[in-house]
A and B are shown apart, each in its own frame.
Chain A
Amino acid sequence: MIVGARRWRRGLAGIALVALTAAGAVGLGPLPPAGPLLDPFGGLWAVATTAEPPSRSRARLPGLGAPVRVVYDDRAVPHIFAATESDAYRALGYVIARDRLFQLDLQARAGGGTLTELLGPSLLPADRDTRATGFRRAAERILAGMAPSSAARQALDQYVAGVNAYMDGLGRRDLPLEYRLLGRRPARWTAADPIYVYLQMGRTLAWSGEEFTRLAAAARAGRAAADALFPVHAPLQEPIVPAPHEPRALADTIPPPGAPDSSALLAAETMPRVPSGSGFGRAARDPDADAPGSNNWAVAPRRTRNGFALLAGDPHLDLTLPSIWYEAQLAAPGLDVYGVTIPGLPAIIIGFNRDVAWSFTNTQADVLDYWRETVDDTLRPARYRVDGSWRPLETRLETYRDPRGRVLATDTLRFTHRGPLRRTAGRWLSFRWTVLEAGDLAAPLQRAAHARSAREWLDAMAPYQAPAQNMLVADGRGTIAIRSTGRFPRRPGDGRGDLVHDGGSSASDWTGAWPVSEEPQSVDPAQGFLASANQEPVDPVVNGAYLGADWFSPWRALRINQLLRADSSVTPDAMRRWQTDVASPRADRFAPFFIAAARAHAGDTLLAHAADVLARWDRRHTAGAAGATLFERAMDNMGPRLFDELSANGLPSAMIASRLLDEPDNVWWDVRATRTVERRDDVLAASLRAAYHALGAEHGAPERGGWAWARVHRANVPHLLRLPSLSAVDLPPPGGPSTLSPSEGAGDNGSSWRMVVELGPEVHGWGTYPGGQSGNPASTHYADYLPAWVAGRLDSLRFPHSPTQLRPSATLLLEGAR
Chain B
Amino acid sequence: MRSAPAVAVLAVAVALATAAGGWWTVPLVAALWARVTPIRRPVVGAGAGGALGWTLLLGWTALHGPVTRLAARVAPIFHAPAWALLLATLLYPALLAGAAAGVVRPRRRWDARAVA
Q: Is A40 in contact with B99, judged by CB distance below 8 angstroms?
A: no
Cross-chain contact A17 with B103 (CB below 8 angstroms): yes
Residue in A closest to B88 when the chains form the complex, CB atoms: A38
Question: What does the 1/0 interface line of B12-54 toward A look like (CB < 8 Å)?
Answer: 0001001100111001000000000000000100000000001
Give which listed residue, B15, B64, B105, B114, contacts A49 with CB less than 8 A: B64
* Contact status B76-A777, CB under 8 Å: no
Given contacts A2-B115, A24-B24, A40-B57, contact A51 B92 (CB under 8 A): no
Contact indicator B102/A34 (Cβ below 8 Å): no
Q: Which of A7-15, A517-525, A624-632 makes up part of the contact surface?
A: A7-15
CA distance A13 to B27 in the complex (A): 12
Interface of B is mostly: helix
Are A778 and B73 touching (Cβ within 8 A)?
yes
Q: Which residue of B lies closest to A24 (CB)?
A: B23
Structural contact, B66 and A3, CB atoms closer than 8 A: no
Instruction: Report whether B78 and A31 are in contact in the complex, using a CB–CB cutoff of 8 Å.
Output: yes
- Closest Cβ of chain A to B59, distance in Å, is 9
Residues of B within 8 A of A39 (CB): 18, 22-23
A25 to B64, CA, bound (A): 27
Contact present for A48 and B96 (CB under 8 Å): no
- The CA of A172 and the CA of B23, in the complex, are separated in Å by 12
Q: A24-B92, A40-B89 are in contact. Are A778 and B69 (CB under 8 A)?
A: yes
With A20-B92, A35-B23, A38-B89: A177-B74 Cβ-Cβ less than 8 Å: yes
Let me know if B66 and A36 touch, CB within 8 A.
no
Contact: A43 with B23, CB < 8 Å?
Answer: yes
Chain A residue nearest in CB terms to B63: A49
Chain B 77-94 interface residues, beta-carbon cutoff 8 Å to A: 77-78, 88-89, 92-93
- A723, B77: Cβ atoms under 8 Å? yes
**Distance (Å) between the CB of A814 and the closest chain B CB?**
23
Chain A residues, Cβ within 8 Å of B75? 725
The interface residues of chain A lying within 8 Å CB-to-CB of B66 are 48, 51, 778, 780
Is residue A47 within 8 Å, beta carbon to beta carbon, of the partner chain?
yes
Expressed in whole angstroms, the minimum distance between the Cβ of A176 and any Cβ of chain B is: 12
> Is A181 close to B, CB under 8 A?
yes
B4 at the interface (CB under 8 A from A): no
B62 CB within 8 Å of chain A:
yes
Q: How many residues of B contact A (CB 8 A)?
A: 43
Closest residue of chain B to A778 (Cβ to Cβ) is B70
Q: Does A240 contact B (CB under 8 A)?
A: no
The 8 Å CB contact of A777, one of B61, B70, B111, B115, is B70
B65 at the interface (CB under 8 A from A): yes
- Known: A35-B22, A35-B24. Is A48-B78 also a contact (CB below 8 A)? no
Say whether B18 contacts A17, CB under 8 Å: no
- A593 on the B face (CB < 8 A): no
The reply to whether A41 and B24 form a contact with Cβ atoms under 8 Å apart is no
Chain B residues with CB under 8 A of A25? 24
User: Distance in Å from the Cβ of B110 to the closest Cβ of chain A?
Assistant: 13
User: CB-nearest residue of chain A relative to B23?
Assistant: A35
Within 8 A of B (CB), among A534-572: none
Minimum distance in angstroms from A483 CB to a CB of chain B: 44
B8 at the interface (CB under 8 A from A): no
Using known A-B contacts A21-B24, A24-B23, A39-B18, determine if residue A46 contacts B96 with beta carbons closer than 8 Å.
no
Residue from B65, B77, B101 within 8 A of A51 (CB atoms) = B65
Question: Is B95 at the interface (CB under 8 A from chain A)?
Answer: yes
CB–CB B70/A48 < 8 A: yes
Given the contacts A12-B102, A177-B74, A41 and B19 also touching, CB distance less than 8 Å: yes
Judge if A791 is at the interface, Cβ distance under 8 Å.
no
B67 to chain A: closest residue by CB: A48
| Across-interface contacts of A12 in B (CB, < 8 A) | 102
- Please name the residue on chain B nearest to A779 by beta carbon: B66
Does A126 have its Cβ within 8 Å of any Cβ on chain B?
no
Question: Does B58 interact with chain A (Cβ within 8 Å)?
Answer: yes
> Is residue B10 contacting chain A, with contact meaning CB distance below 8 A?
no
**Docked pose: A48 CA to B57 CA in angstroms:** 13
Residue of A nearest to B59 (CB): A40
**For B43, B58, B65, B98, which residue has the most chain A Cβ atoms within 10 angstroms?**
B65
| Minimum C-beta distance from A405 to chain B (A) | 23
Within residues 744 to 788 of chain A, which ones have a CB less than 8 A from any CB in chain B? Answer: 777-778, 780
Asked if A42 CB lies within 8 Å of chain B CBs, one says yes
For B23, list chain A residues within 8 Å (CB): 24, 35-36, 38-39, 43
Q: How far is the CA of A21 from the CA of B100 in the complex (A)?
A: 10
Q: Which residues of B contact A426 (CB under 8 A)?
A: none
* Contacting residues of chain A (41-65) with chain B, CB-CB under 8 angstroms: 41-52
- Docked-complex contact B70 and A726, CB < 8 angstroms: no
Specify the chain B residue showing the minimal Cβ separation from A51. Answer: B65
**Contact A16 to B58, CB < 8 A, known contacts A36-B23, A723-B77, A725-B77:** no
Q: Is the CB of A45 within 8 A of B67?
A: yes
Nearest-neighbor residue (CB-CB) of B91 within chain A: A38
Assembled-state Cα–Cα distance A45/B72 (Å): 12
Q: Does A388 contact B (CB under 8 A)?
A: no
Residues on B with beta carbons closer than 8 Å to the beta carbon of A16: 95, 99, 102
Q: Are A17 and B99 in contact (CB under 8 A)?
A: yes
Q: Does A724 contact B (CB under 8 A)?
A: yes
Chain A residues whose C-beta falls within 8 Å of the C-beta of B93 in the assembled complex: 38
Write the nearest CB–CB distance from A14 to chain B, whole angstroms.
5
Question: What 1/0 flags go to A798-809 for Cβ under 8 Å of B?
Answer: 000000000000
Chain B CB within 10 Å, residue with most, of A43, A46, A48: A48
A1 nearest CB neighbor, chain B only? B115
> A724 vs B95: C-alpha distance in the bound complex, in angstroms?
31
Distance in Å: Cβ of A1 to nearest Cβ of chain B: 10
Chain B residue contacts of A35, Cβ below 8 A: 22-24, 92
A13 touching B103 by the CB < 8 A rule?
yes
Q: Which of B64, B95, B111 contacts A48 (CB 8 A)?
A: B64
Asked if residues B61 and A48 are in contact (CB atoms below 8 Å), the reply is yes
Bound CA span A725–B85, Å:
14
List chain B residues, Cβ under 8 A from A50: 65
| CB 8 Å contact bits of A16-38 with B (1 = contact, 0 = none) | 11001100110000010011101
Closest 6 CB pairs of A and B: A13-B102, A48-B65, A35-B23, A725-B76, A17-B99, A40-B57
8 A-B interface contacts by CB (under 8 A):
A2-B114, A14-B99, A17-B96, A35-B92, A36-B22, A39-B22, A51-B66, A177-B74
Q: Point out residues on B near A: beta carbons under 8 Å.
A: 15, 18-19, 22-24, 27, 43, 54, 57-58, 60-62, 64-67, 69-70, 72-78, 88-89, 92-93, 95-96, 98-103, 105, 111, 114-115
Known A17-B103, A21-B24, A45-B89; further 7 A-B contacts with Cβ < 8 A: A16-B95, A34-B92, A38-B92, A39-B18, A42-B18, A181-B74, A778-B69
